[in-house]
A and B are shown apart, each in its own frame.
Chain A
Amino acid sequence: MSLKSKSISSKGSLNEDERLKKISPLRVLLNRPELGALGGSILVFIFFGIVAGDTGMFSAYGMLNFLDVSANLGIIAIAAAMLMIGGEFDLSIGSMIGFAGICIAIPAIYWGWPLWMSIVFAFAMAVLVGYFNGIMVVKTGLPSFIVTLAMLFILRGLTLAITRLITGRTQVPGLRVLIEDDPLAWLFATDTFKWLFTWLGSLKLIELRTDGTPLATGIPPSVIWFIALTLFATWILMKTRYGNWIFASGGDKVGATNVGVPVGRVKISLFIGTAVASTIFACIQVLDAGSADTMRGTLKELEAIAAAVVGGCLLTGGYGSAIGAAFGAIIFGTVSMGIFYTDVDTDWFKVFLGAMMLIAVVFNNYIRKKVTESK
């Protein structure tokens, strides 16, 4: 019997060939967390290409529509994914969206603050909420599921109670007029690449309104934010020391602490991340709708977690990717919009969402076994 295990060989011996044979490119690809979501996205596009190819879903306007929905979900899904990789959950994302919404609307409408100040205020509140979630989880050692579930109720309740107390209603309209000339609001409310759409319209390549302007006027801000956040999160996870700490904190809290990773600080910052992402989501939606609704964002936390899981994040932490979560969001966004273009009743969307998530979890579990397979 040889004393060497399969991958051990004495120094200097030629083993280049053996090495190359061992890992096929397919294996490498299979080990990437985002594979499932990427494959899923392609399947979804093929499906709707066949079923709804001639319905206008894939016109410029239709595409921007489902990309906008995907992008909004993606913004929170990426933050949720990073937190999940770090080994924690945030169930207060949806409530934070509603809360951030009124943090923008009430000061701007009722207290006469300039819009930019309300937006800054909302982000400051987000940092506080995230910090509180994080410090509670880190200091008490309670499961984040419980801590953030409590936060889900607290924030939603606060949102409702404060709004009704101050305004007597549950909606705060009237923001649209404030957007113009605001030094900050444009970040969340400007369609970009308008010239491109005007130009395409002038060439009659995309659909036009009766007055000759294109139906799709530009790339919505959500899509730009979505792309920027995907790139930023991926850079952090793959290319920075902090990214390594996120994986380590989620993979093995005790081990990471023993070798000097500041696990507590990493987790707290990730909780702040999800709260801030919720606030970006809220800014975009509130400024787009021109009003804040106390029920905005309900159940979004579960969609964000679902997208992260479909994107390859393990529920136990330590594994996953931001790109995966982005594709997870694209799958959900595309299906939720695409279903309108088919004959299928939209009631079936939730069924699809659940089934997709179940398949993803089973698949992820299999991948994890593969990755950690001992020789």
Chain B
Amino acid sequence: MSDYLVQFNNISKFFGKVIALKDVTMRLKKGEIMCLLGDNGAGKSTLIKTLAGVHKPDEGEIIFEDNKIVFDSPKDALDIGIGTVYQDLALVPLMSVTRNFFMGREPQKGIPFLKTFDVEKANKIAADRMGQIGIDVRDPSQAVGTMSGGERQCLAISRAIYFGAKVLVLDEPTSALGVHQASMVLKYIVKAASEGLAVILITHNVHHAYPVGNSFTVLNRGKSMGTFQKKDISREKLLSMMAGGEELDKLEVELQEMDRIHNKN
């Protein structure tokens, strides 16, 4: 038995002539938070969709708990315990917290053919779960639309965990959030990892990733630039690796030049 809960070995994905991913390798232990960093177009979305079972990898293998796995559909990934929270969260703002939490997997009670949605039980579980992450849902029948962005994100993550996720794949969970909301979500992610989940955190924000991540994989133009342990790499180094680095340096030079000209006039 290897140390790793899940391994993605040499994953490649091609769309026609386009090489979306080439030889990307990621390995995660239980309780580990791996941050997947990359600029727009680096292949992050393709990689997530491959992990979530939306795409099949053209090369490479996925090994989960020492078994080689082939996903035929997103449901297969869900069933073995890879829970993906997409950017749109799959929440319906007009529906209540409870109804969103159990959407598609409602607990039922009663006799066959007359089964009813067990609202009391669902309310209780939803309120409990939200309470555990420090969100006090005053009324589980309140619409999700009334919640803040951070709370919604936490609801979506909490839902994925409740329905059996062992590996949590989070797509840009903090990108649309303010500082306080983002820190709330990050805190929850750390908590989830401390309870034994493996977390893949996809982001282009190094400042959000660095404090919480244990390891960092940087994607650039479909290729992995390597996985680094936190002790081996600085925040600045990471930032410059994300392709943005060089360009930002150039930008800085240009700005200084403009400044100089401006001052001269």
B→A interface (CB under 8 Å): 74-75, 78, 86, 88-95, 99, 102-106, 108, 115-117, 119, 131-132, 134-139, 142-143, 145-151, 159, 180-181, 183-184
**Whole-angstrom distance between the Cβ of A345 and the nearest chain B Cβ:** 40
- In this complex, the member of A23, A240, A254, A259 whose beta carbon has the largest number of chain B beta carbons within 10 angstroms is A259
| In the complex, chain B residues whose CB is within 8 Å of the CB of A247 | 92, 94-95, 99
Q: Which residues of B have CB within 8 Å of A259?
A: 90, 103-105, 159
Is B136's CB under 8 angstroms from A7's CB? yes
Give the total number of A-B pairs whose CB atoms are below 8 A apart: 125
Contacts of B142 in A (CB 8 A): 23
Interface residues of A in 227-248 (CB under 8 A from B): 239-241, 243-245, 247-248
Q: In the complex, which of the residues B78, B92, B134, B149 has the most CB atoms of chain A within 10 Å of its own CB atom?
A: B92
Once A7-B147, A9-B136 are accepted as A-B contacts, the answer to whether A241 and B92 lie under 8 Å apart by CB is no
Interface core residue of A22, A31, A255, A372 (most chain B CB under 10 Å):
A255
Q: Are A371 and B146 in contact (CB under 8 A)?
A: yes
State which of A5, A15, A256, A319 has its C-beta within 8 Å of the C-beta of B90. A256
**CB-CB contacts below 8 Å: A259-296 with B:** 259-261
5 closest A-B pairs by CB: A372-B145, A251-B92, A255-B90, A260-B104, A241-B106
Are A258 and B143 closer than 8 Å at their CB atoms? no
- Chain A interface secondary structure, helix, strand, loop or mixed? loop
Complex interface: chain A residues within 8 A of B159 (CB):
259
Given A7-B137, A31-B143, 12 more A-B residue pairs with CB atoms under 8 Å apart are A5-B150, A7-B135, A8-B134, A8-B135, A11-B134, A239-B117, A243-B117, A244-B102, A254-B90, A318-B94, A371-B143, A371-B146
Q: Which of A314-347 contact B (CB under 8 A)?
A: 314, 318-319
Inter-chain CA distance A240–B138, complex, in Å, is: 23
Which residue of chain B is the closest to A2 with respect to CB atoms? B180
A15 with B95, Cβ < 8 A, contacts A7-B151, A248-B103, A260-B105 known: no
Q: Are A241 and B108 in contact (CB under 8 A)?
A: yes
Contacts of B74 in A (CB 8 A): 258
